[in-house]
Amino acid sequence: MHCSTPKHGPIQPTQDRHQSMAQHQQRLKLQKLTSSLQQTKNTFLIFRGTETALKKQLLETVSDTFTKTLKHKMYGYAQVTAREILAHLDAAYGTVDADDIKDNEKRMNATWNPSQPIKDLYNQVKDAQKFAADHDDISEKKEQSAPSSRT
C-alpha cells in the first residue's frame, strides 16, 4: 500500500460575507459607544473639578459665620454643593432693604453695657460698619429717595 500525503493543508471554510458585515457593524457600534462613554466621563470630570474649585473658593471667601448652618458636625461641608451654598447665601443674606439698614443703624447705635468687655463695643461698631460698607449702594439709594430735611 502506498500512502500519499496531501500537498495542501485542510481547506478552511471562508467566512460568510453577511457575518463579516455584521461583525463590522458591531465594532462600529462599540466604537461609538466607547467614544460616547469617554465624552460623558470627561464632561463629568470637568463638572466635578469645577464644582470642587467653586465650593473651595466660596468657603475660603465667605466667613464661616454665614455658612455654619450648612456645616455638618462630623463631615463639615463635604455633603454640601456649591449650588446649595449659593442658594443659602442668597436666601439668608441676598436681599437688603431699608428695614435691614435701619436695624443695622440701631445695632451700631445701641447702648453699650460697661460691664461687658470694651472689645464687644468695638466689634459691634465694626460689624455695623462692615455691613454698611458692603451695602453702600443701598444706603445711597435710601438717601437719594428720602426727602431732604435741610432748609
10 assigned to some structural domain: no
Q: For residue 74, what are the domain limits?
A: 26-94
1 assigned to some structural domain: no
The gap from C-alpha 45 to its chain's centroid, in whole angstroms, comes to 14
* pLDDT for residue 15: 62
* pLDDT for residue 110: 79
Helix-helix angle 98-109:136-145, to 10 degrees: 100
Nine cell digits for residue 133: 460698607
- Residue 76 DSSP SS3: strand
Residues in the chain, pLDDT under 50: 138-139, 141-142, 145-151
* Same-domain status, 128 and 112: yes
The values of phi and psi at residue 140, to 5°, are: -65, -40
Torsion sign across C-alpha atoms 88, 93, 99, 103: positive
101 assigned to some structural domain: yes
* Placement of cell 478552511 in the chain: 12
Count CA within 13 A, CB hemisphere, residue 138.
15
* Same-domain status, 102 and 55: no
* Same-domain status, 89 and 30: yes
* Same-domain status, 70 and 120: no
Report the 10 Å Cβ neighbour count for 77: 19
* pLDDT for residue 119: 86
- Residue 58 and residue 67: Cα distance in Å, rounded? 10
* pLDDT for residue 151: 41
* pLDDT for residue 103: 83
Report the 10 Å Cβ neighbour count for 55: 19
Selection from 108, 97, 110 nearest residue 139 by Cα: 97
